[in-house]
A and B are shown apart, each in its own frame.
Chain A
Amino acid sequence: MANMSLKKNEMPSQAPDVRNKNFREVALGYTPETAIDEAKRCLNCKNKPCVSGCPVNIHIPEFIAKVAEGEFEEAYKVIAQSSSLPAVCGRVCPQETQCESKCVRGIKGEPVAIGRLERFVADYHNAHSTEKISKPEPNGHKVAVIGSGPAGLACASDLAKKGYDVTVFEALHVAGGVLVYGIPEFRLPKSIVSKEIEGLKDLGVKISTNTVIGKTMSVQELMSEEGFEAVFIGSGAGLPRFMGIPGENLKGVYSANEFLTRVNLMKAYKEGSDTPIQRFKSAAVVGGGNVAMDAARCAKRLGAENVYIVYRRSEAELPARAEEVEHAKEEGIIFRTLTNPVQIIPDENGFASKLVCREMVLGEPDASGRRKPIEKPDSNIEIDCDCVIMAIGTSPNPLIKSTTNGLETQKWGGIVADETGKTSIEGVYAGGDAVTGAATVILAMGAGKTAAKAIDEYIVSKNK
């Protein structure tokens, strides 16, 4: 009997005024009872529109049916057929614009909480599974994966399962890419990421940290000297953009990447951390995406009294996940929409002290389909803040492009790759943000999986 409640089962969470002072995970996860109850809201409809909304086409109604039966391990197996990182994606996917946006239950009422169920199933598996991952029979072929973010991990996992000898090269001292340096602990606990990475190692994947491809070794050297038959580039879009406004290089002004890296990767939030972070009273975060929400919520947790999101369009255009915006508001983040910074004014010690902005109005839709923000003449808004965080996007890292002869790239720096991830160099594949520019974890993971398939076909056909 289907559960006809119009509302999703609520996600148990830490209370806003408690969690905005700690870095522990905000959402606590469904209990088995709630998960079964929520799963029963799925009508298991014939068209399965949700599946087409998922970038990796998880067999959503099938796994939900298993949850409804209380067969959680079976549900996990269904998800694992299509996704490499369910515990991660259940937490960070923008479900409201993907699977859940297509759910029939969403026409009247709220869609089935697919993301929360995915997370429940993955967490249940991680907590209960005793199954030892067995190393597949080696097939004798070596593949290099550059970057250990979602694209690289997914690609490495699929290739390792087929018996490839895979080495993942990571520039930083720890694997995980944006999952460890970018997304904060309270949204994606690092123990989940390290569990995924341990799983990869159990499959036989080698992880070489502190290895900057393009500097320590080149892509060509990996192939000609190190014996890798194919290379997957999943180096992400790590280069932060700035606005180019006066005062942007003052003390107290960060890129979101720097701010989040200090806090998440280097654990600057912990008492006694070797990596310093400025202690500030008021922080203004410029931008409206998930990264902006993450930075704002970290700033609040570091003890800032006032934290602002400064965004040039209106609230309807905020690109962040709905849940992140909601959580940010609950935690006391102040939203200053239709507000565009033009200058940062220093105090007498050269630290940021004021963000000067213009009021914006929305005009005609632009190339992105969103209404273009236009400056209101003679408007002037001043926001007092001793910390400014720029979260206005990133570009692909140039290190590989500039050191790999013959690798075709777009004008803006993205690597040119076809739908299978194939680049202009034979045996070299690419995927994720390095190809598309900044996008989502799930899209990167999907690209990594697609490339793994293409790499396998390439190596098999070459060795025929």
Chain B
Amino acid sequence: MAYKRQIDRLPIPPKDAKVHNVTCHYCIVGCGYKAYTWDRNKQGTPTENAFGIDLSKQQGADGTWMAPSMYNVVKQDGKDVHLAVMPDHDCVVNSGLGSIRGARMAENRPSTVTGTQQQRLRDPMMWRYGVLQPTSWDDALDLVAQVTARVVTEGSEDDLVVSMFDHGGSAGGYENTWGTGKLYFESMKVKNCRIHNRPAYNSEVHSTRDMGVGELNYQYKDYELTDTIMIVGANPLETQTNLFLNHMVPGMRNGAKVIFVEPRRTVSVNAAEVAAGKDNVLHLQINAGTDMALFNALLTEIVAKGWVDKDFIANSTFQDGIAQAQDAGHPAALGSIEEAMKSCTMSLSEAAGICGVDAADIAKAAAWIAEPKDGARRKCVTAYEKGIIWGNDNYRTIGALVNIALATGNVGREGGGVCRLGGHQEGYYRPSDAHVGRPATYVDQLLINGGGKVHHVWACDHYKTTLNASQFKRIHKKRSDMVKEAMDAAAGGTREDLVNAIVGAVNKGGLFVVDVDIINSQIGQNAHVVLAACESNEMNLTSMNGERRLRLSEKYMDPFGNSKPDCLIAAGIAQNMERVLKAMGKADYAAQFQGYDWSTEEDAFMDGYNKGNPEVTYDRLRQMGNNGVQEPVVGFENGKLVGVERLYSNGEFGTGDKKARFCAAGWRGWQAEGKAEEQAKYKYWINNGRANIFWQNQFLDQDNDFIQDRFPFPFIEMNPADMADIGAGPGDLVEIHNANGATQAMVYPTPTARRGETLMVFGSPAGSQGNVINPGVNELVLPDYKHTWADIRKISDAPATVKAISFKSKEYKSV
């Protein structure tokens, strides 16, 4: 039977409860919440309370209600206090809606009173006597600095490999990207680095940026003002929930048509059919990896019909042939529309053959996107995400999609925009990364091939979120075990003995691993030093959401135990590097590690983001509340920060000459190595996706009873006939295996899944889909996670934990 909370009453926040602005730190939408904290021995009454409503009466639909998941008891200034974190009705992003993630922020806080999140790290730890032992910051940071300084001075900074988040929210944000960025890109020039979810330090959307079109160029309200919503390789009801519910659905109810380009039927498609009416939804259920062919046919049709925006193209796009030739850093040429059409032209029938959809439907989509309405531009807003970002031929495919928006003048205008939907919030502020180069180092391969001697890992878990993960894990463990053995052998000796032992081991192929995280992650098993970090609301944190809305999410509780903000950990590493290098007699190099005398995260913010954006301070952001300000911030007037609703509204784009470029996105089939062979060899496409219930926070839900009760194992959606082929019933465990490796999942029967096309949840701590993904990447080292083929066999009947769970369709049915 389903998990029951067995809670029938909650404390009431008193009228004088402290109120803090909170931006949800899970997904990019960044919903506004209010955190209420109050003394342990105080409470409100039904009529006198912080909400200012009569709680003795039943609240109506959409009314204010504290669910049990919105409540906890946490430490604030060393004292236990009540905490309630509730969705903010006055925030324009979510208008009071909470998601299944954000509305659990309170219960996902570490509490020594209620016992939640006991997996959170309290102290730094060091590998000693065969286990990770808690220790002091001074001790841990000293060893990190001693080993790192020895390795980079005896060899070079190229021997230091860094995996680090680049996003906002959670443990990212402007404070923490600056702290880490200053350390690795200013004090050092580390080039062998990568980002949390991919094996290199690169943009996921190089082409749109090269074309002059930043990937977050609209405002969410554009979905409410548009004629057509085009959603490509994305499932926003699950992964940008309140963007879908609070902006896309109102747009659909205002009469917008909806086009989905997506090989599978998602809950988003179903919900759009309910909201817009089936006749107003066109689902182009294309073959895997064929998006670019479809976009090129759409563009060809739009050009042929004369539906292009001639004035916009003439005034705002490059006119003279090729602006950027194809080369090692540019997988396609960029230039005028005429130049692009030489590569992009594709007939409806040819695309229909490649994509497996009707030519008539492609023509219909082109009309919905571009056919003038009442003699004027048809407004079309385009949204895309991992389906093409982690898909086939990333650079050209995204370029081909942006081509359509440029050709129809749908960028920088009301009801337009061509934007990625995003994962985390953004919050990137670092010194230049130009030294990293393009293409950037394929860091996972570097480590697999024995490169690097020291590995600093910041809130990344390659075990769950990399490709070719089976091989990566084996080798990473083997190399780090060499250092563990050396440390064990040096036990009882001096610090100098220990450092010598570690340096000796890394010079023989070992890897010294420093893991900075909020929990003991899976890659953290290989760490020799673990540094305990905290996250937003345990510190002040600034980030911007998918419409560039910058907010300060305020600190309302203490960091757990002795954990610290990442920016202050980076400062601690820098200060120790300076001290150690000085002692080594390298005064000049040591001096590069000065400038970290920060005592709070605000100091890091002022040292970084504020220097580039002097109008923006914590006090001003606090005043702007949960609606914040849309970046870029262009002024401060009448006590308010002034932002920008849409980018490029003046028709000038982000290139040297302000003219946008089209992409010569010639279709070339499977781009990444090994994909075509794998598709031919194995029976099942193992697509991957996310589930709203734990998207972006699955690692925090490993011990959450409500979540584990629903999905005790990572699921794989399969057509019932495919299940019959392998003799698997609902909830049975299967092994997914191919030449890259193997992983396991629980079968979820899904009649809408096409035969031979499965979907496994990505990033699960209990079954990494990355184990079976081959190492194939594009020219700029963007992984094609989405295209993996494997065989599937049953390994177990449904375990007891699975027996009681529901395997019914996830699709809402109107009754």
- The answer to whether A and B assemble together is no
A: residues with CB less than 8 A from B are none
B: residues with CB less than 8 A from A are none
